[in-house]
């Protein structure tokens, strides 16, 4: 998104764009993109909740050796996501300076925005898909031949209808709801979106008061999708997006649930609060024209006891936790005062 796009936030009605490139990477390669080790590169921003879903899924499933990771600068310029975190400002695998170059190789003059997560075909340098709703589901179901031993089943066949229903409600009111509130251009529009966020959060709190996870007694895709919004809530959505009826840390059930996930291998060890805060406060100049990044909140509470294990549940089902984070993908220690 360019400078004009960034400054337009808060001045135009927000509508999330549909993913334009919906090809799927599947075991049978029916779209022309078969699952294969070392063929694709997952491009993400640690600031983006939609991309963070893919980072968490990849780690939980142990796909690090088969699917490489490119992390973009959390602060975009007028050419959108850029690789200025890498030596020479180029992605070391794709050899490009901007993710838009992979989009251009797929479709010259593509009129839509450049979004993450994005799957790029390494041999051709072409974008394969930016379908954030589908990428993680395919990682869980189509990439099974490359999963680590002990990988959890994040989208179990017998629970998919329930998972889909929960995810649809979370998406509409929470994942996307915070954006509709934050980028609202009229008071009524804001109030309706904000009320919807907290109405759904209260319902989720009731659901989670008696069970450790959203669906069944193990982690699923539904937990991943809720977590990526909750972990950003107090740091950016409460203030920056004006979702401030209460803080996550003030809701005993949801705060304990979020801390439980944060302390589970594969979740908190992928979170970079510095990237999150700098992206939202410095990129969305339409609603934060000074670009000032707040010092708070204190992050130490994320590592506090949550007691959710008393509800039972088996985080990884019959499987095991993922191993250590690969050295090149480690983030700065989290849970410390900002």
Tokens for 304, please give them.
């506090």
Tell me the C-alpha to C-alpha distance, in Å, between residue 166 and each of 130, 153, 207, 311.
23, 17, 11, 20
* Catalytic (active site) residue 48: yes
* Catalytic (active site) residue 103: no
- The three-state secondary structure class of 128 is strand
User: Active-site residue among 179, 190, 237, 280?
Assistant: 179
The 10 Å Cβ neighbour count of residue 320 is 15
| Of the candidates 210, 220, 298, the residue with the CA atom closest to the CA atom of residue 256 | 210
Helices marked H in the chain: 3-8, 49-60, 100-106, 132-141, 160-170, 177-182, 187-208, 221-232, 252-262, 273-283
User: Active-site residue among 48, 213, 257, 281?
Assistant: 48
CA angle in degrees (0–180, nearest 5) for 91-92-98: 15
Q: How far apart are CA 180 and CA 189, in angstroms?
A: 8
Tell me the C-alpha to C-alpha distance, in Å, between residue 234 and each of 81, 131, 254.
25, 27, 12
Quote the radius of gyration of the chain (alpha carbons, Å): 19
Contact 337, 241 (CB under 8 A): no
> Would you name the residues annotated as active-site residues?
48, 179
């Amino acid at each position: 998104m360019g400078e004009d796009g960034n400054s337009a936030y808060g001045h135009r009605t927000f509508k999330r764009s549909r993913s334009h490139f919906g090809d799927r990477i599947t075991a049978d390669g029916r779209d022309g993109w078969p699952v294969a080790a070392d063929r694709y590169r997952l491009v993400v921003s640690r600031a983006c909740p939609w991309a963070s879903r893919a980072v968490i899924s990849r780690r939980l499933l142990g796909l690090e050796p088969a699917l490489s990771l490119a992390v973009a600068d959390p602060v975009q310029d007028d050419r959108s996501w850029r690789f200025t975190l890498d030596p020479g400002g180029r992605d070391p695998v794709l050899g490009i300076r901007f993710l838009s170059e992979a989009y251009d190789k797929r479709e010259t003059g593509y009129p839509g925005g450049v979004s993450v997560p994005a799957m790029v075909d390494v041999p051709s340098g072409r974008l394969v898909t930016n379908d954030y709703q589908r990428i993680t589901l395919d990682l869980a179901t189509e990439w099974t031949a490359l999963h680590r031993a002990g990988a959890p089943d994040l989208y179990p066949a017998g629970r998919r209808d329930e998972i889909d229903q929960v995810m649809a409600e979370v998406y509409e009111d929470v994942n996307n709801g915070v954006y509709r509130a934050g980028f609202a251009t009229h008071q009524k529009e804001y109030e309706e979106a904000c009320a919807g966020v907290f109405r759904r959060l209260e319902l989720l709190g009731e659901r989670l008061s008696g069970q450790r996870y959203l669906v069944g007694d193990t982690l699923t895709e539904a937990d991943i999708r809720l977590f990526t919004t909750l972990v950003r809530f107090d740091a950016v959505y409460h203030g920056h997006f004006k979702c401030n009826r209460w803080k996550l840390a003030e809701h005993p059930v949801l705060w304990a649930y979020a801390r439980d996930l944060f302390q589970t291998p594969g979740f908190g060890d992928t979170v970079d609060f510095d990237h999150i805060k700098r992206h939202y406060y410095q990129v969305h100049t339409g609603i934060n024209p000074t670009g000032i990044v707040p010092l708070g909140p204190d992050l130490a509470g994320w590592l506090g006891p949550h007691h959710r294990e008393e509800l039972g549940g088996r985080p990884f089902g019959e499987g095991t936790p993922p191993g250590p984070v690969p050295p090149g993908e480690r983030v700065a220690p989290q849970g410390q005062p900002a």
